[in-house]
Each structure stands twice: as C-alpha cells, then as structure tokens.
C-alpha cells in the first residue's frame, strides 16, 4: 500500500487542466463545467474490469503509474472526515457540506458476477436491479439525481436504448462559506468582457490582507478558502485570470506544462469578481476518446459463465455552480451508460475578474479537483 505523502497533487491538477483543454477546443466560447475527481474515480472503478491494454491506457490518461494509487480516488479521500467534524465542533453550520452518492442500475435481463458485485460494494455503489427501458426507472434515476444534488440538477436527460444494460449514476454536492465573505453592500454592477459582448453583471469586492495570490507572465491566480478547514481536510476555490493579452487556452497550456504546480504567497489583494451561475452538460466520452481511450477498448466482464462483455457507451456530466458573496453551492451528476491592527497604507495587488477565467473547487489536502470550469460568459 501507499501513504498520503506518496500522492502528488500536481497529477490531479494536470488532469483537470487536460480535460478543460480538451473541452475548450469545441466549446465555442461557451462555459465549461466538469468534475475531474469523478471522471478519475470512474476510470479507477473501470480498472477492475478491463483488459491489460486498457488498464495501461487509463493509467497513462490519468498520469498515475502505480495502480494502488487509484484507490486514493475513492470518496473517503475528499469527503469530510471524523477528525474534520470533531475539530470544528463550535458550529457545525460553518462547515462546508460535501456529499457524494453512487448507484448502479442494472437491467433484469443480465446476471452480474460476484466479482462485479464485490467491486460495486468496495466503491460504495448502491445496486438496483430494474427494467432500464421502463419510464418508471427513468423517472427514478431523475429523482435520484435531483435529491442527491439538492435540486441543483433537476432534469437530467435519460437516454436508454434496448442495448443499454448498466447505468452508473454518481452525484457530487458541495456547499461552503468563504473564510472571508464579501460585503453585499460593496456589490455593484460592472462590465464583464466576454468573447462576443460586454455584459453588465453584479461584481463582488473584497480586500484580502493575506490573500493566497500568484502571478506570472500569463495569468493571475487566487486561492479562496472556505470556512473551517483542519489538518486532514480543507476546501478552496481557485481562480485563474489570463492577462488582457492572453486567453484561457494560454493558461491551460502553461498549467499543463507546469509540472511542480504553482506556489501561492500571502499578499494583500484587492479582489473584484462577478457573482456567477454556471449550468452546463458535457460529453466526457468524446474527451476520453480524444485522450486515447477508445470506447471499444472498454470490456466489462460481468456475466458469470459467458465470454461476453459490455462496452462503455456514454459518459455525461451535468452540473451547476452558484457563486455569491457568502460562498459557493455546486452539484454535478456523472451519468455512465454501458451497452450489450491600526490602519496603515497597504499596496494591494489588483485582480479584476472581468473577462473569461478558469476556476476549480479543490480538496486541498489530496489535491483532488471536485469541480473545474471555464467561465466565458456571465
């Protein structure tokens, strides 16, 4: 086995940027929203069923050579721990809420092997044996997503054909208050410069005496912590703002090639950023194919006594993120179908997020990217 210190969080950062770069190529300047952590978790789950060639491809895509490390992608590595709750016993309402639920919906026409059931149990998937093509089952799945994303995802499209035999549904929900909230009285309209138009939207302001700040020739970045973090769990949102002569794609290229991550420093920051809501649906299957994982190479051996397999068909993520003066609320569903002191003068670094930018919501201890996106339009 391995310990936490063996995990290089830069791998998770690199994967996040790799996925955002793949999606931005076809985004046509629309917003992008994904959960890199849940894509990686799905790939790790599939390792238990795939052939050696596909296992090698998955390891290469994610960037982890030691397969034991894939277990680190399980939900207990980023959900609040017992220590986390006991540490912040003064007011439980101040803690970020992070919840993850997973379920497997298996058609009655197939029989699963004990190995398949064991892997589902190990990865904490609830098993449901149903008639996948029935309208009642489709409604059940929609209701499941709505409940476990706290209403953030209200109507996920369920596309099930007669060839679909297994559907995996994963829901991730996050809600957190900023460590340093924005004063609502300072919020006022200003211009956000998107690719095709200028829009007047509400901008929040905050003077951060000890802002976690980074700057280079390509972009500025800030790490905004959520309230109540302890030694084994902490959460933050990172915002990457390209300089005026640069683009989000320039940032993605720099971050992808930045093998050692970036080092934030405590710096006075005058931050100005828009309140925003992002709601997007992304086809992750195309991304994985583009990264080198052909869906035809994904056999899932679940029949006990037959040399038959299922193929990975669609991987769809639908999510929503809402950012306000108080904090952040976010939900995403991964739908996978398988077929057959005294005042003094201070110099502040100014960061005006008034043009397209990249953001991530991170569990900082592990480095896992729970959410990541590109905001091209507000």
Q: d(Cα 131, Cα 120) in Å, to the nearest integer?
A: 19
299-300 vs 327-338, strand pairing mode: unpaired
First-last CA distance in the chain: 45
What DSSP string describes 150-173?
TTSS--------TT--EEEEEEEE
pLDDT at 169: 95
Assess contact for 274 and 194: CB atoms under 8 A.
no
What DSSP string describes 273-339?
EE-EEEEEEEEHHHHHHHTT--GGG-EE---SSSS--EEEEEEEEEEEEEE-SSEEEEEEEEEEEE-
* Complete domains list, the chain, with CATH: 4-176+277-338 (3.30.497.10), 179-275+343-375 (2.30.39.10)
Most distant pair of Cα atoms in the chain: their distance: 76
DSSP state of 126: E
- Does residue 268 sit in helix, strand or coil? strand
Sign, CA dihedral 262-264-270-276, equals positive
Q: Which mean pLDDT values do the consecutive 10-residue runs of the chain (378 residues) have? A: 50 88 82 93 80 75 66 74 64 77 92 83 92 92 96 86 89 94 95 90 94 95 85 87 94 82 90 95 86 58 56 88 96 88 64 91 88 91
| 127's tokens | 């098993």
Measure Cα distances from 9 to 37, 116, 156 in Å: 12, 30, 31
Q: d(Cα 351, Cα 220) in Å, to the nearest integer?
A: 7
- Does residue 253 sit in helix, strand or coil? helix
DSSP state of 178: B
H/E stretch holding 372 reads strand 368-375
pLDDT at 63: 73
Residues constituting the chain: 378
| 282's tokens | 């992304």
pLDDT at 343: 43
97-107 vs 166-177, strand pairing mode: antiparallel
Measure Cα distances from 41 to 93, 134, 164, 209 in Å: 29, 28, 21, 37
The residue with tokens 């110099």 is 347
Report pTM.
Answer: 0.90
Give CA torsion, residues 286, 70, 156, 360, to 10 deg.
-80
Sign, CA dihedral 217-219-223-224, equals positive
């Amino acid at each position: 086995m391995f310990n936490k210190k063996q995990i290089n969080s830069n791998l998770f950062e690199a994967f996040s940027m790799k996925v955002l770069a793949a999606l931005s190529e076809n985004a046509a300047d629309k917003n992008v929203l994904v959960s890199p952590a849940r894509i990686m978790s799905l790939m790790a789950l599939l390792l238990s069923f795939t052939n050696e060639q596909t296992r090698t491809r998955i390891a290469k895509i994610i960037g982890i050579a030691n397969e034991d490390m894939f277990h680190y992608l399980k939900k207990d590595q980023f959900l609040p721990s017992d220590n986390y709750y006991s540490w912040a016993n003064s007011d439980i309402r101040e803690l970020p809420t992070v919840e993850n639920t997973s379920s497997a919906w298996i058609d009655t026409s197939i029989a699963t092997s004990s190995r398949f059931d064991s892997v589902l149990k190990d990865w904490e998937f609830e098993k449901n044996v149903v008639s996948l093509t029935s309208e009642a089952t489709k409604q059940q799945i929609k209701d499941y997503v709505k409940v476990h994303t706290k209403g953030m995802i209200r109507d996920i499209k369920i596309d099930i054909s007669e060839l679909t035999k297994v559907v995996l549904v994963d829901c991730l929900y996050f809600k957190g208050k900023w460590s340093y909230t924005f004063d609502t009285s300072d919020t006022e309209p200003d211009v956000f410069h998107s690719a095709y138009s200028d829009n007047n939207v509400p901008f929040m302001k905050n003077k951060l005496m000890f802002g976690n700040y980074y700057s280079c020739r390509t972009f500025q970045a800030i790490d905004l912590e959520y309230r109540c973090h302890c030694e084994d769990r902490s959460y933050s949102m990172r915002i990457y703002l390209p300089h005026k002569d640069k683009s989000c794609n320039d940032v993605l290229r720099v971050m992808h090639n930045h093998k050692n991550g970036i080092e934030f420093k405590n710096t006075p920051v005058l931050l100005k950023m828009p309140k925003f809501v992002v709601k997007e649906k992304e086809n992750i299957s195309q991304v994985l194919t583009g990264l080198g994982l052909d869906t035809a190479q994904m056999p899932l051996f679940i029949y006990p006594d037959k040399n038959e397999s299922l193929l990975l068909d669609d991987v769809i993520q639908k999510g929503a993120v809402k950012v306000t003066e108080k904090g952040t609320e976010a939900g995403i569903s991964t739908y996978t179908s398988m077929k057959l002191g005294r005042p003094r003068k201070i110099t502040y670094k100014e960061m005006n997020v008034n043009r397209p930018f990249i953001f991530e919501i991170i569990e900082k201890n592990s480095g896992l990217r729970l959410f990541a996106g590109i905001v091209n339009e507000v």
